[in-house]
Amino acid sequence: MASHIAIYPGTFDPITRGHLDIIERSFKLFDELIIAVVEHSSKSTLFSVEERVEMIRAEVGGQENVRVESFDGLLINYVKEKNAYVVVRGLRVMSDFEYEFQMALTNRKIAPDIETVFMMTAENYTSVSSRFIKEIARLGGEVDHFVTPSVEAALKDKFSAKIT
């Protein structure tokens, strides 16, 4: 029987409890999950790709059916390279759906054999956005509800280094 491999792509700058919710629930659906960290994005990132990969590995390291990798280039090419047929995308709010729906339709035109699976994040994480978390942390606010303790420490380290 063929293995069902799914790709969960994103910038994960930083990884949030909302991302971890999608990852944990994806374990139940697929034989293998590859968390694919985008190297170069239109978004400016606080953490390097290496830092983001290491943060995610620290969070999901105990799972045997998960890999954390970085990639650059067209997502569909990466998905094919990994012999996967599913892209997992997390949804928080309606505006996420509009963007992700357009992206899924575009990907379907390029690669009709690859499916996109949308997963709604748990209700208590709908307001969690990496962009907002970075802003709260930059201004010295508490982000422990949105990220794990190790990610919170990485944010504090990053922003204290920028201040000094």
- 26 with 33: CB under 8 angstroms? yes
CA distance 96 to 47: 23
- Cα→Cα distances 35→7, 54, 59, 93, 143, Å: 6, 12, 12, 22, 23
Range of the domain at 85: 5-123
Mean pLDDT of 70-89: 95
Any domain includes 151: no
Any domain includes 35: yes
Of the ranges 83-87, 94-98, 128-132, the best mean pLDDT one = 83-87
Of 12, 104, 107, residue with least CA distance to 58 = 12
pTM (2 d.p.): 0.91
Number of domains observed in the structure of the chain: 1
Residue 164: pLDDT band with limits 50, 70, 90: very low
Residue 82 maps to which CATH number? 3.40.50.620
**What is the per-residue pLDDT for 1?**
46
Any domain includes 159: no
Any domain includes 149: no
Q: Give the residue numbers marked as catalytic.
A: 19, 43, 92, 130
pLDDT, tens digit, for every residue of 4-57? 999 999 999 999 999 999 999 998 899 999 999 999 777 789 999 999 999 999
CA distance 164 to 94: 39
